[in-house]
Amino acid sequence: MDSKEDVERLEKLVGQLQGLHTEIGALAKKSPNDAVNPFKLKLINKVLALGNDVLGKKYKPFDEFDQFDADDTPSTSDVTMLISQYMEEAERFRSDNVKSGYGGWYYVVQGEESDVRSGPPTKIGRKR
């Protein structure tokens, strides 16, 4: 990561993905084939756009997918599946950019350990 702002954007993305996954996941359990309404779809697409920007080409889950088409409304299960993929890649990106030191885990910014605390990595290894 190039700056502390990049860390903040990643943290925001992770929080938004978790919130969406919880909300849409609950809807998917009740009615997996129901369509997502236009208001929710607009918000979901905003989070996915942030995800594409933050994760970049290396960590983006699917090369051919950017966001949902508003004219081809996805089901709650479609959205839940895709959000899960973004969550996995966001965590892999985070795990690849934290380092142990000073009794805790810290984000790596510009190749150096920063003073921004993190949780321990949950993903081992890097995508090749």
Residue 103 inside a domain? The answer is yes
Residue 60 inside a domain? The answer is yes
The residue type of 75 is S
Residue 126 inside a domain? The answer is no
pLDDT at 85 over 70: yes
The encoded tokens of residue 8 equal: 């903040």
Residue 124 inside a domain? The answer is no
Rg (CA), the chain: 16
Q: Which pTM was predicted?
A: 0.90
The encoded tokens of residue 17 equal: 């993905």
Residue 52 inside a domain? The answer is yes
Residue 128 inside a domain? The answer is no
Per residue in 28-79, pLDDT (tens digit) is 999 999 999 999 999 999 999 999 999 999 999 999 999 999 899 999 999 9
Chain-centre distance for alpha carbon 21: 10
Q: What is the number of domains present in the chain?
A: 1
Residue 127 inside a domain? The answer is no
Per residue in 101-110, pLDDT (tens digit) is 878 999 999 9
Query: Which residues constitute the domain of residue 102?
Result: 4-118
Average pLDDT over residues 88-115: 93
